[in-house]
Amino acid sequence: MLGAIVLSLAALFLALALVLRQRAGLPWGRIAATDVGVGRPLERPLVAARYRLTGKPDYLIERGGVLIPVEVKPGRQALQPYDADLMQLAAYCLLVEETTGRAPPYAVLRYANATFRLEYRPDVRRRLLALIADMHALLDADDVARSHDDPRRCAACGFRGVCDDALADG
């Protein structure tokens, strides 16, 4: 009798785990690490020192000995993934590649209404590396022109007190 109860509790927890995983849009595989409070926490950000890149995906799912990054944006609804989100996924793939020595074949992006998959192909990797190089060039430059005309962005920006281009008072 006790055995039957233990078994049915185990089955219940398994069913619950499957439902939660399905709701989160996670691919099947062991959750190796997570940054959102379920499972083993990802204690430190992943670091790719030679690209001066760091970051923490919401989940790392282990499939066949490879870690698959998963990013969940529950407040976002769209029929197509935003390009910036895809580049974020590509950056996580690069971080996994650099920290484990094994490049993920893909990464997963979950919106409130849809799940997308980014294949981590050589052209995606090349595009990401070009983007990282551009970003570092901007960060290293002494003077960078403002890229927008939106005072609200400046009002919410932590640099407005020292920024000569700010459209809002510091």
Cβ atoms within 10 Å, residue 15: 10
* 108 vs 154, beta carbon nearer ligand SF4: 154
Nearest distance in Å: CB 150, ligand SF4: 8
Q: Is residue 138 within the footprint of ligand SF4 (CB under 6 A)?
A: no
Q: Which of 30, 126, 146, 152 binds ligand SF4 (CB under 6 A)?
A: 146
Q: How far is the CB of 105 from ligand SF4 (least distance, A)?
A: 37
| 153 scored as a contact of ligand SF4 (CB under 6 A) | yes
Contact status: 165 vs ligand SF4 (CB under 6 A): yes
**Residue that the structure tokens 């089955």 belong to:** 11
Q: How far apart are CA 78 and CA 57, in angstroms?
A: 20
* DSSP assignment letter at 16: H
Q: In one letter, which amino acid is 100?
A: T
Helix and strand counts by DSSP (H, E) for the chain: 4, 7
71: which 2 tokens?
A: 């990013």
First and final C-alpha spacing in the chain: 70
* Binding of ligand SF4 by 127 (CB under 6 A): no
Minimum distance from CB of 71 to ligand SF4 (Å)?
A: 24
Interface pick for ligand SF4 out of 66, 128, 166, 169 (rule CB under 6 A): 166
Determine if 87 is a binding residue for ligand SF4 (CB under 6 A). no
Strand partners, 70: 59, 108
Give the total of residues touching ligand SF4 (CB under 6 A). Answer: 10
| Strand bridging mode 46-48 / 53-55 | antiparallel
Q: Return the residue of 54, 95, 154, 169 that touches ligand SF4, per CB under 6 A.
A: 154
Q: Is 135 in the site for ligand SF4 (CB under 6 A)?
A: no
- Helix residue ranges per DSSP H, 25-81: none
Identify the burial level of 110 via C-beta atoms within 10 angstroms of its C-beta, where 0-12 means exposed, 13-18 middle and 19 or more buried: buried
Stretch that binds ligand SF4, among 5-13, 45-53, 90-98, 149-157 (CB under 6 A): 149-157
- The footprint of ligand SF4 (CB under 6 A) covers 146, 153-154, 157, 159-160, 163, 165-167
